[in-house]
Amino acid sequence: MAEMDTSSQGGGHKKGPGVKKGKKMSTRVDLTPMVDLGFLLITFFIFTTTMSQPTAMKLFLPKDTDKPEEQNKAKESGALTIMLGDKNHVYYYEGILDPAGANFKSSNFKDIRDVIINKKRSTDEKDFVVVIKPGDQSTYKNIIDILDEMSINVVKKYALVDISEGEAQLVKASDASAGS
Amino acid sequence: MSRPKIARKSTNIDMTAMCDVAFLLLSFFILTTKFKPSEAVPVNTPNSVAAKVAPEKDIVMISLNNEGKVFISTGDGAADKDKKEQILQSINNSKGLGLTDAEIKALVKAPFIGVPFTQLAGQAKLPTEQMNAKLPGIPVQDSTNNQMIDWMRAVAEVYAGTKPNLLLKGDNVAKYPAFKNIITAFKKNDLMKFQMVTNPESVPSGTDLWKANMKGVKQEDL
């Protein structure tokens, strides 16, 4: 190791008698804090690089078909329809919508998970299907959130379907009554 | 018998070597970090639990910004730029736009395409700084003039045989109809697989996916 001789022994010999010694300081610096700093920065960089990586969510679209025999039919008992309204409102009904709208229920993005889980637990896995109907006022974030719920709750069958006229009006009316 | 004397050593460890290693690693990480390229169209993507990292090669990205404007872009690699040129040529031929080679070259260099067909020549003349979210975007608003269908037809043609990575990058506040029109354009051209760019988010504990992850089942296998 390159080390300076810092001992005062024999220092006088070289410079001869009568020459005053300058006070010699140790040239060794304690590098521990510097090492700490270095590793702190490394950790920081490692974390920030992996965090900012965007991820991708896959979506497979079904083929549009006009032939009724090729269309996938959802069993009424296993169907859960979720509608997305304005201002993050969520509405849902099970099975087929009652003409009077009796089974049309309101929810939000926090509670919809329980609704999905309950429905999933109470129906046969073969028949369980979630139909997602985003309204015209719903945002892209709403759609991603609800699709995310599908993957969070491991719903194997779900479909993105256009909202029907009657449902759109129900959603609109409920949005208006819920206020903002 | 006397025990051999153990020489007393100083407890000071020489930190120089460790310091060298730390800073070597530090410089390595700084240099290899890719900074997020400044985006011409700012898009705030929503969060999802999807764990798959977005691909960077063979991509065709469709951005949907907060105003519902639609922009199309490709990857930065040389192969992707080639494909972009072919896509533009295909659009030019099928729509009879009469773009010159120089204009197509300029559009290939542009970070994205964000104008209707009739204004493509105009965008080619713009300097890169002026290509931002102020451009009108590709019209997708109604089914009669959904130009995304033509773009996707060109994409499907150019990538015939291979699979393009279709990425849809939408803004949190973009409305559903614009999203639906883009999906319609995908469907019309039999591009049934696409991916949506999101920010990672942790899986809420106690849910089915969380339990599966705990068991070590991959999200893709579910």
Domain assignment of residue A135, yes or no: yes
Q: In total, how many domains does chain A have?
A: 1
Looking at per-residue pLDDT, the higher value among B221 and A11 belongs to B221
Tens digit of each residue's pLDDT (9 = 90 or more) over B55-83: 777 778 888 887 778 888 777 777 777 77
Domain assignment of residue A142, yes or no: yes
Compute φ and ψ for B149, nearest 5 degrees.
-60, -45
Average pLDDT, chain B: 77
DSSP summary character for residue A76: T
Percent of chain B with pLDDT over 90: 0
The beta strand positions in chain B, using DSSP E, are 47-48, 59-64, 70-74, 165-170, 193-200
Q: In the structure, what pLDDT confidence band is assigned to residue A12 with cuts at 50, 70 and 90?
A: very low
Q: Do B198 and A55 touch (CB under 8 A)?
A: yes
Query: Which chain A residues contact residue B173 at CB under 8 A?
Result: 139-141
Domain assignment of residue A25, yes or no: no
Q: Which residues in A95-116 are b (16+ Cβ under 10 Å) and which e?
A: eebeeebeebebbebeebbebb
Domain assignment of residue A61, yes or no: no
Q: Where are the alpha helices (DSSP H) in chain A?
A: 11-15, 32-51, 112-122, 140-152, 165-178
Compute φ and ψ for A91, nearest 5 degrees.
-125, 150
Structure tokens at A15: 């410079």
CATH of the domain at A132: 3.30.420
- Counting one residue from chain A and one from chain B, the pairs whose CB atoms sit within 8 A come to 167
pLDDT score, position A72: 59
Domain assignment of residue A132, yes or no: yes
End-to-end CA distance of chain A: 74
pLDDT score, position A10: 45
Tens digit of each residue's pLDDT (9 = 90 or more) over A137-151: 888 888 888 888 888
Domain range enclosing A81? 76-178
Q: Do A57 and B50 touch (CB under 8 A)?
A: yes
How far is Cα B163 from Cα B82, in angstroms, rounded to an integer?
A: 16
Percent of chain A with pLDDT over 70: 73
Domain assignment of residue A53, yes or no: no
Domain assignment of residue A29, yes or no: no
Query: Which chain B residues contact residue A35 at CB under 8 A?
Result: 15, 18-19, 22
Q: Is the dihedral of CA A146, A147, A148, A151 positive or negative?
A: positive
Cβ atoms of A97 and A62 within 8 Å: the answer is no
Q: How large is the ipTM?
A: 0.71
Q: In the structure, what pLDDT confidence band is assigned to residue B135 with cuts at 50, 70 and 90?
A: confident
